[in-house]
Structure 1
């Protein structure tokens, strides 16, 4: 009788815990007392299995640039599915999509498709090692780059283990990470070019690449400073290392990615999420001579590369349609809506008179329960009190019909209008007032 009184979602979670570690396959969907289970999505709205409809500012962790079930994507995928979902043959769809993606950025001479952002970053790092013949990589403290051992180092560093700011420690995420992996990762502070360059100089002959996200979510969704980006670009050129840009999340920022903000041409760029049109995807693109370490026709193949579902035609047609819809006017409109969201949330903070702030760029924003916007990972670190307030705000948003990413971050889709932004601002204001009380 007790079980019958539980919601449908709660009953599903009881079953899930018997067959899935923690009841889930990805921790991003965890909520107390149980995850929400989706029934359907339409545009910028999601209805859960218990019938509650919410505005979706999470968009599957920034991957749904046009929201849910866009008719053009559904039509293209349905047509391709009737022909076949994957083959041990190449398809013309891969070539067509590659041509389109390379046309979006002058820094993309060639591209290869993979199946996730993690795989894209991993492939970039391996390509950089193959091209330079060097073992080590450098990355920003706190930045998230997926699950690869080397890319995830210091992603979850804490005050108790992150070390001196002049020499940040290489801190493992997963228990059992080999010491050899930690030793091959050089950690640099974000937006501190003087410290970063001093650290890089200590490893100049060993570094294959410097990996950077220009608007790193886990660091605080703070834009990289132009000075920081210029310093890293100059250092890599002068020291024979590659500059690898992780645009898995940020490629949505402009027509050609966040790198266009800086007129930057990285040696390699990793992409994923929104370029898949709602399907699993990753890609790496960059300079011809670097990308050609994967050329299987070369006399000596430096980086043999393949994947069973890489460039499958379902993802290729879905991604191609989505990106063709993401025109320069569409980008400008979406970023304008995000400006409206950031401005209105800032105004709500002022009216409620709470110690909070909002950061972000392009079509993304993040709310921090601290008075001053952070400058780097350490100033943005979320302690227990801030975590408690953030959880309270997320619960308030969910209870009032708004889905957010669990850091109190939001990503917009082209399905949104000013109405959804205004609703968000109203709910945020009531949430800040509730927290203040």
Structure 2
């Protein structure tokens, strides 16, 4: 095996009193609740603190090298410090970072999105995927005059009360008395009205989905769909379900929002064409900003006119102090210029090879697990049963501990995955890195599952 870590023993304790990361954590927990800015980047007894990144690698404060398969939660398709992005930012930086007037760079990035897919006819930029989804939903309400929305169970669309409904419900909370997915608050304190205004759909039950949309459709402003939802298993929505949603939106005048914040990387045109979808609005973020803060709402000009402020007060106001800032625009332009169809195909092929190799190793070793995903995305599932949605991917407390052990063991061995053991490839990765991920993931999955079974 090609060892890539300074600490090859995955059983070695991480609580090293001399660690610079531990010292940083002890400082941060005094001024930041929880001791880090994101729960998703937390590890016990403390997280690794990054000093720098280069290509597909990051280096912690102790200069340990880590292969980054998290890509800052899928936002760095070219890895870290991608030279064209760095040069583009430097060039813009000398002329200022943000202005109270528009710049030509926002036109250029909007044109690139449109040229890659005509469904992105017009675009308004913001600063994150959460903002993009929030603005899209507000826009849908402005177009339709309706308040309620529908989303799919277990799907993440950012930190917004309505789309956090039924993000992570437990089995006892799944269905109501009529057998429909129940609306469960995503956070303590979420207004009760949010639950009544959010309809929850099953990700992989087209007939049930059709029944719910037929019943609730006339009251809905929008249906939001991520075609390859990470939190719901990182498996593609079925074409049957996609068709049900498309037809219901057309029949009832519902705005269809495709959330491509993560899934935009699947093709040069995003994910909607892969599933025969014709969205009214599309939300993007992450890779279109090249590692800088960004979000975007795009769609047909007639729908996007709800944000038009040039002919009087808009129906829905959308803006932000740093929206369309030249640094994010420049980084996004450089990223997409180097993420053409050939680059997409190369990356997707490498990920397909990774999934195939890991699954073959699991089968040969008798490990009841599989690596699933689409394009350059992958996620580990500790089951051989079909995984088609949030419920079939659900991990109870005991299984969650196994995932956590695998993630920590992978990090100790020099590979970073997300908390649910998902990841993505980036263009700097070669077959060497792909093979290392395959070997380590097979090793640590087998060891963790054996340990759990014998406990």
TM-score by length of 1: 0.97
| Inter-partner Cα distance in structure 2 for 1:379 and 1:418 | 31
Q: Is the aligned partner of 1:151 residue 2:163?
A: yes
Q: In structure 2, the residue corresponding to 1:382 is in which secondary structure?
A: coil
Which residue of 2 is the match for residue 107 of structure 1?
A: 119
Which residue of 2 is the match for residue 137 of structure 1?
A: 149
Which residue of 2 is the match for residue 254 of structure 1?
A: 267
Residue pairs, 1:23-422, within 5 angstroms? 23-164=35-176, 166-299=179-312, 301-422=314-435
The runs of 5 or more residues in structure 2 that have no matched partner are 1-14
Q: Deviations over 1:121-163 (max 9, x none)?
A: 1111001000010110000011000001111110011112222
| Inter-partner Cα distance in structure 2 for 1:369 and 1:211 | 28
Change (3 A) 1:289 1:116: same
More deviation in 254-263 or 234-243? 254-263
| Inter-partner Cα distance in structure 2 for 1:12 and 1:167 | 47
Does the 8 Å CA contact 1:370/1:386 hold for their aligned counterparts? no
| Inter-partner Cα distance in structure 2 for 1:101 and 1:367 | 31
Q: In structure 2, the residue corresponding to 1:278 is in which secondary structure?
A: coil
**CA drift at 1:406:** 1.1
Which residue of 1 is the match for residue 436 of structure 2?
A: 423
Change (3 A) 1:76 1:300: closer
Change (3 A) 1:221 1:4: closer
**CA drift at 1:432:** 3.0
**CA drift at 1:45:** 0.7
Equivalenced residues, count: 435
Q: In structure 2, the residue corresponding to 1:78 is in which secondary structure?
A: helix
| Inter-partner Cα distance in structure 1 for 2:17 and 2:403 | 30
Q: In structure 2, the residue corresponding to 1:131 is in which secondary structure?
A: helix
| Inter-partner Cα distance in structure 1 for 2:277 and 2:372 | 22
**CA drift at 1:193:** 1.2
Q: Is the aligned partner of 1:9 residue 2:21?
A: yes
**CA drift at 1:4:** 9.8
Q: Deviations over 1:28-56 (max 9, x none)?
A: 11011101100111100111111210111
| Inter-partner Cα distance in structure 1 for 2:341 and 2:73 | 22
More deviation in 154-163 or 216-225? 154-163
**CA drift at 1:427:** 1.0
Does the 8 Å CA contact 2:16/2:22 hold for their aligned counterparts? no
| Inter-partner Cα distance in structure 2 for 1:369 and 1:204 | 36
**CA drift at 1:430:** 1.8
Does the 8 Å CA contact 1:273/1:281 hold for their aligned counterparts? yes
After superposition, the CA RMSD in angstroms is: 1.4
| Inter-partner Cα distance in structure 1 for 2:212 and 2:277 | 22
Does the 8 Å CA contact 1:363/1:412 hold for their aligned counterparts? yes
